[in-house]
């Protein structure tokens, strides 16, 4: 069943306030000539956009890579002189059921096998109309509106009448565009995305025919190395944060559980994670295999657990499957169900294996505190895993690589654009094979020198290719091309 599309009083999008962030900090990680080229490109784009607003519109302010990228993209662009703002559209439970259905289909996954017929289209368009009423009061002629993912595509024809330049950015996709499930998803979106002035995809292989009538830009996502999730952190600070969250056994040591917030203010981790485990939390010196991702079947937490169980004698090694609290991610209605399935599978494990596996739901009341927990967990991991069955890009891979960790990940989607197999990480050719995962993990856990070398190469790859200042310059060229 689909819930009623309307809420009492309609739906009003919400603006997220984003402070400016200093571009100058990238001089710490780029060579001087490269930094100056990037900064000049951003200044030129800002001059062309003088008097115009660039509105970024998505469906959630917390949870997932799109929401995490929004703050840095806008903050650094503002420091470069451009006026960028962030709007989050609102939806009903039924709306998010439909958009999750589309999300799954674009990954060639059947999802809930639900309909995308006239009733679902009417529900989707009703929610888009409610949001467009408020947006139309904000958007002015020649403003640029960048709409992200299926949740916002229906706004394109509604906002055209405002005289704005409209860009639709799709962060997901699948290489086989002839797959019947993928075709079905694009058939739903085609009437909306055809009206965009330009589209943006993370990979060229994801571009469908319905987007070929306007300029298509290929811009891969990236990470902010100075965000709470990726900023440098001492082992002592990571230990204090993980102990405070309950992810490792205390005492936390002499350093407090602190980090730097996005506005430069001091931050402290105060909340604990909801953790499912047998007995005590792992000791600080216990080797950890870690996967951090949303509770989504395509992330294959069950497969990670099955592969880890095949390791044999574990010598104390623990597996941590971590994700956001399911109450904090509004646009992913499947999260609670997926977490419940994983919990049931964990309870069915033999006791000697279950003792080595813990499932952690990290609080998202404060998204920056959540990010600091993820940062500490990834930095402390012996090996980071991202065993996705399908993946649009998979930015958690770049995040772990930036922290110098060896990563084992599926050779799917944008992950293959991030890892050079055997040079700066390990790719799983068959993400459904638990034995292959077990072998890859054993190959790193038994060879710490190899693991360290992969981690060092991984950090350098991210530094040279996947930092957000690179994405900012590509976005600037896109905006300039719109006129």
pLDDT tens digits for range 142-170? 999 999 999 999 999 999 989 999 999 99
- For domain 14-222+467-481, the CATH superfamily is Glycogen Phosphorylase B; (3.40.50.2000)
pLDDT interval class at 2 (50, 70, 90) = very low
Which whole number is the average pLDDT over 416-443? Answer: 97
Higher pLDDT, 152 or 315: 152
Higher pLDDT, 69 or 444: 444
pLDDT for 328: 60
pLDDT at 201 exceeding the cut of 60: yes
Lowest-confidence pick of 14-28, 70-84, 311-325, 442-456: 311-325
Distance CA 358, CA 317 (A): 11
Q: Which of 241-255, 374-388, 467-481 has the highest mean pLDDT?
A: 374-388
| Neighbour count for residue 142 (Cβ, 10 Å) | 15
- For domain 235-465, the CATH superfamily is Glycogen Phosphorylase B; (3.40.50.2000)
pLDDT for 392: 86
pLDDT for 281: 93
- What are the distances in angstroms from CA 186 to CA 147, 178, 241? 16, 10, 43
pLDDT for 330: 57
Distance CA 111, CA 276 (A): 26
Which whole number is the average pLDDT over 185-200? Answer: 97
Which whole number is the average pLDDT over 181-202? Answer: 97
Contact 171, 165 (CB under 8 A): no
pLDDT interval class at 250 (50, 70, 90) = confident
Q: Which residues of the chain does CATH 3.40.50.2000 include?
A: 14-222+467-481, 235-465
pLDDT at 329 exceeding the cut of 80: no
Closest CA to 18 of 70, 64, 92, 91: 70
pLDDT interval class at 65 (50, 70, 90) = confident
pLDDT in tens, 330-369: 556 788 999 999 999 999 999 989 999 999 999 999 999 9
pLDDT for 173: 93
pLDDT interval class at 6 (50, 70, 90) = very low
* Stated pTM of the model: 0.88
Rounded mean pLDDT of the chain? 93
pLDDT for 8: 40
> Which residue in this structure is represented by tokens 């600080």?
284
pLDDT at 119 exceeding the cut of 70: yes
Which whole number is the average pLDDT over 255-270? Answer: 94
DSSP-derived secondary structure for 60-95: -SSSSHHHHHHHHHHHHHHHTT--EEEEE----HHH
| Neighbour count for residue 80 (Cβ, 10 Å) | 24
Which whole number is the average pLDDT over 446-473? Answer: 96
The helix or strand, by DSSP H or E, that contains position 290, with its residue range, turns out to be strand 288-292
Which whole number is the average pLDDT over 56-61? Answer: 94
Distance CA 481, CA 468 (A): 20
């Amino acid at each position: 069943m689909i819930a009623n599309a309307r809420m009492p009083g309609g739906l009003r999008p919400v603006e997220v306030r984003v402070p400016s962030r200093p571009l100058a900090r990238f001089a710490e990680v780029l060579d001087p000539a490269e930094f100056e080229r990037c900064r000049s490109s951003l200044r030129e784009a800002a001059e062309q956009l003088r008097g115009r607003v660039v509105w970024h519109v998505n469906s959630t302010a917390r949870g997932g890579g799109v929401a995490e990228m929004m703050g840095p993209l806008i903050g650094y662009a503002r420091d470069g002189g451009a006026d960028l703002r962030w709007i989050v559209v609102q939806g009903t439970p039924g709306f998010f059921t439909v958009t999750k259905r589309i999300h799954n289909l674009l990954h060639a996954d059947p999802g809930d096998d639900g309909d995308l017929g006239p009733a679902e289209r009417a529900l989707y368009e009703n929610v888009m109309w409610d949001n467009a009423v408020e947006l139309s009061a904000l958007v002015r002629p020649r403003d640029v509106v960048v709409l992200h993912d299926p949740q916002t595509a229906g706004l394109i024809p509604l906002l055209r009448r405002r005289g704005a330049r409209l860009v639709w950015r799709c962060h997901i996709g699948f290489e086989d565009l002839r797959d019947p499930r993928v075709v079905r998803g694009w058939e739903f979106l085609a009437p909306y995305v055809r009206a965009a002035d330009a589209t943006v995809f993370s990979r060229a292989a994801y571009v469908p025919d319905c987007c070929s009538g306007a300029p298509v830009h290929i811009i891969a996502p990236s990470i902010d190395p100075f965000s709470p999730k990726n900023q440098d952190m001492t082992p002592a600070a990571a230990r204090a944060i993980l102990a405070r969250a309950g992810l490792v056994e205390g005492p936390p040591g002499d350093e407090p559980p602190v980090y730097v917030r996005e506005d430069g203010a001091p931050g402290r981790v105060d909340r604990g994670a909801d953790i499912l485990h047998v007995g005590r939390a792992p000791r600080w010196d216990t080797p950890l295999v870690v996967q951090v991702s949303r509770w989504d079947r395509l992330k294959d937490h069950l497969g990670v657990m099955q592969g880890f169980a095949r390791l044999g004698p574990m010598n104390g090694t623990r597996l941590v499957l971590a994700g956001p609290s399911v109450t904090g991610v509004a646009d992913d209605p499947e999260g609670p169900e997926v977490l419940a399935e994983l919990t049931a599978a964990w309870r069915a494990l033999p006791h000697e294996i279950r003792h080595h596996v813990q499932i952690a739901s990290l609080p998202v009341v404060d998204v920056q505190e959540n990010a600091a927990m993820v940062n500490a967990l990834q930095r402390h991991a012996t090996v980071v895993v991202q065993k996705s069955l399908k993946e649009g890009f998979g930015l958690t891979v770049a995040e772990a690589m930036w922290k110098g960790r060896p990563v084992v990940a599926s050779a799917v989607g944008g992950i293959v654009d991030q890892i050079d197999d055997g040079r700066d990480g390990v790719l799983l050719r068959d993400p459904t094979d638990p034995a292959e995962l077990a072998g890859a993990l054993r190959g790193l856990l038994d060879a710490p020198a190899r693991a360290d070398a992969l981690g060092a190469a991984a950090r350098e790859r991210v530094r040279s290719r996947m930092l957000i200042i690179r994405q900012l310059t590509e976005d600037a060229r896109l905006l300039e091309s719109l006129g």
